[in-house]
RNA sequence: CCAGCCGGCCGGACAGCCGCGCCCUGCAAUGCCGAAAGGUGGCGGGAUGAGGAAAGUCCGGGCUCCACGGAAACACGGUGCCGGGUAACAUCCGGCGGGGGAGACCCCAGGGAAAGUGCCACAGAAAGAAAACCGCCCCGCCAGCAUUCCGGUCCAUUUUGAUCCGGACCUGAAUGCCGGCGGGGUAAGGGUGAAAGGGUGGGGUAAGAGCCCACCGCAUUGCCGGCAACGGCAAUGGCAGGGUAAACCCCACCGGGAGCAAGACCGAAUAGGGAUGACGCGGGGCGCAAGCUCCAGCCCGUUUCCGGGUGGGUCAUCCGGGUAGGUUGCUAGAGGCAGGAUGCAAAUCCUGCCCCAGAGGAAUGGCUGUCACGCCCGUCAUCUCGAUGGCGGGUGAUACAGAACCCGGCUUACAGGCCGGCUGGCGCU
């Protein structure tokens, strides 16, 4: 059996230069966050995501919680809609702290999948199918 | 039972589903990224994963690198009753002194003010070898009033006597009172102030004052107790120039600097560094030259003395460091728990057991249920009429807050709760 390359999961952004690069990409505003998206030109490589919560949003405990909720929302739902070869940065806002989890998830799904062209949508669906097998 | 003081502890629990970091491990493959160093990934199993403050980064250390040639002086910073404990400390423990409280107990930057300098706003007369605003007292002078008296002038009256005496004015004297001016005494009283040159009481005095006396305070000396800070007692002295040293300062003691983004290792490109060769040099001396040597300049916190180091640029070739990046440092430690010994205690020592987060754009979470707990609402019962208890419902990131090399403290934040000791009051026996 060949190694499974059909469900690559989601990578992480870890370097400051990577975060700065994504800042130059497309920006999509949401009620609880700001989403930055960049096609890094890596073709079929798995998508990567990073989280940013500035100190203005609260103390360390609150910032941790904002990041964890955003990450959980992407892990459970919104991550499936990410495009290959793209980087995403979610800049959390304080409202993400207290918003109902369902609402947070809904708005993230909408922002990540929004501008998808038909071709991309096609592939995304097939990827999803393969994963569920 | 109520009010209060002190010390210690906890700070949601359990379960389900889906996840995350790190470590160990089985299977598959020997993948993917990268020049390399190295990183990363598939399917499973197991173990483990935030705090009392992890916070503020205010002290003290360990650890690491840098600096560090010697001596003296200077400068800078810190600490400041005594003793103990400690790796060390501003912390801690035990004392002492002062202040607060009815008490348990709490608070204190608590060396030196006759080494010197400065400052003491406003107010006040005066803020330091003091002064006299009001007041009090004495003396002198002036004016007024009252009483008494000596003398004089004018008017009136006049038979005598009883019992001091007709009236007005002027000058003068004495006494008393009130006022003014001047001279002096006074520090009791008033007033000002944070503070006015010991306090209270009595004697004394013209009025007052340590002027004298008693007690208290203070100073000096001696003796006794205590390792000491200091305390006690006695004698002597009439009292001696106040406060401020978180003003300068003086004294004693302590102190190199920077921090895990420390540092170590691996290691592209580019710039820069070293060696060699060519071109040829801040000054002097020797030498044909190579070179040797002396000095200026610069550096070693500052200064002085001695000492040491350095002591030119451009081009070509070669070499080692180093940046991006990666690995490491990274958790077994002044460690925790239990017992014992010593000590009033802080703490130290001994024995046994345990291994207890190691991330790195930073894991420790998301959702749900049950139960505690708090808050809110409704309802019922009790009664000392405002609470207590029962039931039902709603609500909650449950308070403060997230390890970032590691320890010892300090400070600050904190819903709610538990335990122990002590003080005061009330009730009962």
What is the distance in angstroms measured between the alpha-carbon CA of A28 and the sugar C1' of B3? Answer: 63
Closest-approach nucleotide to residue A20, Cα vs C1': B361
pLDDT exceeds cutoff 70 at A47:
yes
| Distance, CA of A109 to C1' of B381, in Å | 56
Lowest-pLDDT range of A43-47, A66-70, A105-109, A120-124: A120-124
Does ipTM exceed 0.85?
no
Identify the pLDDT of residue A33. Answer: 86
Q: How far is the CA of A101 from the C1' of B222 (A)?
A: 89
pLDDT value for A44: 64
The domains located in chain A, with CATH, are 11-132 (3.30.230.10)
Number of neighbours of residue A96 by Cβ within 10 angstroms: 26
């Amino acid at each position: 059996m060949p190694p499974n390359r059909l469900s690559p999961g989601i990578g992480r952004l870890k370097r400051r230069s990577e975060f700065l690069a994504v800042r130059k990409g497309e920006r999509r505003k949401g009620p609880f966050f700001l989403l930055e998206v960049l096609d890094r030109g890596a073709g079929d490589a798995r998508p990567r995501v990073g989280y940013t919560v500035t100190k203005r949003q609260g103390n360390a405990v609150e910032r941790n919680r904002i990041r964890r909720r955003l990450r959980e929302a992407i892990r459970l739902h919104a991550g499936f809609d990410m495009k290959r070869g793209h980087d995403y940065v979610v800049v959390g806002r304080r409202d993400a702290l207290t918003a109902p989890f369902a609402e947070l998830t809904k708005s993230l799904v909408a922002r990540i999948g929004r501008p998808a062209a038909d071709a991309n949508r096609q592939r995304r669906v097939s990827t999803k199918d393969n994963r569920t097998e």
